[in-house]
Copies of this chain bind each other. A is one copy, B any other.
Amino acid sequence: MINVGIVGGTGYTGSELLRLLVRHPHAAVDVVTSRGEVGKPVAESFAHLRGHLDLVFSAADTPALRNCDLVFFATPNGTAMHDAPALLREGVRVIDLAADFRLDDVAVWEHWYGVRHASPELVADAVYGLPEINRERIRGARLVANPGCYPTAVTLGLLPLVEAGVIALSPVIADVKSGVSGAGRKANAGLLMAEVGESFKAYSVAGHRHQPEICANLRRATGQAVDLTFVPHLVPMVRGIEATLYAPLRDRDAQLQALFEQRYAGEPFVDVVAASVALETRSVRGTNNCRLSVQRPLDGDIVVVQSVIDNLVKGAAGQAVQNMNLMFGFDERAGLDAVAMAP
């Protein structure tokens, strides 16, 4: 049994970590911090945790974090880079669910995130926490950069194609759609239900931070530079990401279904389905699964991959727990065996 802490437990990734960890067989949540709600019972902020968790929020600088085996940063971008180093020095392992350590090129990071990186020396140390490409390094990591939600869905969908060299690397299109919980739990008039309900839109078409993250993933895993166009959209639902990925087929004889099935044969959380199955986001809701399908519309030369995840689970908190399981030698599936909630 390990003791874990959560820094910034008042957002959705924090509450989802709690939802998963209160059922985890090998981890106990010892401390949850919040800047604004110190002393308040966590279950008052998150009624769904009532009866499952007896903690109150601690201050962000509580020394209790130093006694944890692992601390999750469920904070906005730019927090962990300041606060993680001290914990790491104490021997506490860290998983950052934000973006601070996701890009190994600090200059690129600073360009996209608009601030100076506070701990550039840690960036090389950090392990990108996508187990499907980095499992062994995650096992030994002190600091894991938990992937973004979109990059998880898109990287897993493109990976088999790029690795196998069956597609041309340009142009590759990722048209992705997310439920509104992906935008977090902050007071923002643009995310009111009266603003985003019963409507659909693209956003950040000119450029989104997850584009370089995906490209870095694919380069890291395959050595290839993919020319990716990435357009995110907002869906009037709470949870779920669907990515529809398009790439020009180079090898017309490629056995795409087999390629995907083989690539992910041993993966506990990647499920390749037949092209005939409709891939609904709700089929993975509340679970750590990524479901993929691959096909060639009208038997043409464009490969289309569909990828669905729950943005708060495989796209955030569930993947963080999967990484924790790897880092501490637990069964990779521990605490992550929920059945999706449908309808």
Name A's B-contacting residues (CB within 8 A): 12, 15, 19, 22-23, 44, 46-52, 171, 173, 175, 177, 179-181, 183, 185-189, 191-203, 205-207, 211, 227, 229-231, 233, 235-240, 242, 244, 246, 248, 271, 273, 275, 277-286, 289, 293, 295, 297-298, 300-302, 304, 306, 308, 312, 337-343
Contact = CB atoms under 8 A, between A and B. Distances in A.
30 contacts: A19-B341, A44-B277, A47-B280, A47-B342, A48-B283, A48-B341, A50-B271, A51-B271, A173-B302, A180-B192, A183-B194, A187-B187, A187-B192, A191-B192, A191-B193, A191-B194, A195-B343, A197-B236, A198-B239, A198-B240, A200-B242, A201-B242, A201-B280, A205-B293, A207-B298, A229-B302, A229-B304, A231-B297, A235-B235, A286-B341
Q: State the copy count for this chain.
A: 4
B280 A194 contact: no
Contact of A15 (B248, B286, B342): B342
Contact of A185 (B15, B183, B189, B211): B189
Nearest to A203: B278
Contacts of A227: 300
Contact of A233 (B201, B244, B301): B244
* Residue from A196, A285, A289 having most chain B Cβ neighbours under 10 A: A196
Given A50-B283, A201-B279, A237-B198, A231 B244 contact: yes
Contact of A194 (B49, B181, B230, B304): B181
B286 A199 contact: no
Nearest to A178: B200
B199 A280 contact: yes
A339 B52 contact: yes
B233 A19 contact: no
Nearest to A195: B343
A334 to B, nearest CB: 14
A192 B188 contact: yes
A234 to B, nearest CB: 9
Contacts of A52: 339
